[in-house]
């Protein structure tokens, strides 16, 4: 949403400023434009931060994820993200900025040192730290789980009894008792669902890792130059270089709606639902979503999916 808003409400005026070389919309709208710019950029970056936490929960607790991350919690988090972004962006509208130039044809972002440091810290560096920590933990969890699957051993605890399941592609354990066979089938079915779910969450995490990589490449130069140049004006890069860095951040918001759908079918379906204003449609129960997958899938295909990812 933040990237779409930035592309539709901010970029047209930014492009007009670059093409004409001066601002034609007046001082008041200049202040509003700058505030909306910071609002959308901050919301976009914070959304990546929240999504990284969400993916960690999905990989770490794949089967419990639907009960941990409910629609209500997601709604609350969404509100917090936008409120936090508003707090960051509203400063210049309340006077936290350098004195405006007398010429109203000049419009630029606020470079007041205190605000530049504040916005850079809370809009970029703190979310970036959370993102890096979360993806490191995702890597550790995914590597540990993948090794366990490759070894062919999964430990399950059911009714206070620890059972060791050995996964063999072309072997089936033969038990004389039907109850034992039934329990083994239930365990295999449960493990198959877990393997499919882990594979799905791992794919989503890989997709977002690409997004985060592009995000760092696009936004780090701007959030390094902005506070550094505010405190040390003599070391500020030339106007042309600063414009390139400035638009590099815009480029990130433009490519995100392309990377998400192209890298993941799930994100593509969610993006289409968003454009059709169907974001509040409830999902089917999790057991129905996976029931048709593991009933027709063998354990061999499940292990191959996980190893392929």
What per-residue string of b and e applies to 256-267 under the rule 16 or more CB within 10 Å gives b? Answer: bbebbbebbeeb
Which residues touch 207 (CB under 8 Å, ≥6 apart)? 259, 260, 263, 264, 267
Main-chain dihedrals φ then ψ at residue 116, nearest 5 degrees? -60, -40
Neighbour count for residue 95 (Cβ, 10 Å) = 7
Residue 265, pLDDT score: 64
Under 8 Å between Cβ of 97 and 192: no
Parse the chain into domains and list their residue ranges. 2-308
Cα–Cα distances in angstroms (integers) from residue 136 to residues 133, 140, 157, 201, 209, in the given order: 5, 6, 27, 15, 10
2-308 has which CATH code?
1.20.1070.10
- Helix spans in the chain (H): 2-5, 11-20, 27-60, 65-68, 71-89, 113-120, 126-151, 178-231, 239-263, 265-275, 286-296, 299-308
57: nearest Cα among 199, 169, 205: 205
Q: What sign results for the dihedral spanned by CA atoms 165, 166, 169, 175? A: negative
Residue 2, pLDDT score: 82
Return per-residue pLDDT of the chain as tens, 309 residues. Answer: 788 888 888 889 999 988 888 899 888 999 999 999 999 999 989 988 998 888 888 878 877 888 888 888 888 999 999 999 999 999 999 988 888 888 888 888 888 999 999 999 999 999 999 999 998 888 888 777 766 655 554 454 444 444 444 444 444 444 444 444 444 445 455 555 556 655 666 666 677 777 778 888 989 999 999 999 889 888 888 888 988 998 888 888 777 767 666 655 666 666 666 666 654 444 444 333 333 443 444 444 444 444 445
Residue showing tokens 């972004």: 85
User: Residues 19, 20, 23, 25: what is their CA dihedral angle, to the nearest 10 degrees?
Assistant: -90
Residue 260, both tokens = 């998400």
């Amino acid at each position: 949403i933040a990237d779409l808003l930035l592309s539709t409400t901010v970029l047209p005026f930014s492009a007009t400023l670059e093409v004409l070389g001066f601002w034609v919309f007046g001082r008041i709208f200049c202040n509003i434009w700058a505030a909306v710019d910071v609002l959308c950029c901050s919301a976009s970056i914070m959304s990546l931060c929240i999504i990284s936490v969400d993916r960690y929960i999905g990989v770490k607790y794949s089967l419990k994820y639907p009960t941990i991350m409910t629609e209500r919690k997601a709604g609350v988090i969404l509100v917090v993200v936008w409120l936090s972004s508003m707090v960051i962006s509203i400063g210049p509208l309340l006077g936290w900025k350098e004195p405006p130039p007398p010429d109203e044809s000049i419009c630029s972002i606020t470079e007041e040192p205190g605000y530049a440091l504040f916005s850079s810290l809370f809009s970029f560096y703190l979310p970036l730290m959370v993102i890096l920590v979360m993806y490191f933990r995702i890597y550790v969890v995914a590597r540990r789980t993948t090794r366990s699957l490759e070894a062919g051993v999964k430990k399950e605890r059911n009714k206070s009894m620890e059972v060791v399941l050995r996964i063999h592609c072309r072997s089936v354990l033969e038990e004389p008792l039907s109850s034992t066979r039934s329990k083994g089938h239930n365990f295999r079915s449960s493990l198959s669902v877990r393997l499919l779910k882990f594979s799905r969450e791992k794919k989503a995490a890989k997709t977002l890792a690409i997004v985060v990589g592009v995000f760092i490449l696009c936004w780090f130069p701007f959030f390094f130059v902005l506070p550094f140049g505010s405190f040390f004006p003599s070391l500020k890069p030339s106007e042309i270089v600063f414009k390139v860095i400035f638009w590099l951040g815009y480029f990130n918001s433009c490519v995100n709606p392309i990377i998400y759908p192209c890298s993941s079918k799930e994100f593509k379906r969610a993006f289409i639902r968003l454009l059709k204003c169907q974001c509040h449609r409830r999902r089917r129960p999790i057991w129905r979503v996976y029931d048709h997958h593991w009933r027709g899938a063998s354990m061999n295909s499940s292990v191959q999916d996980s190893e392929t990812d």
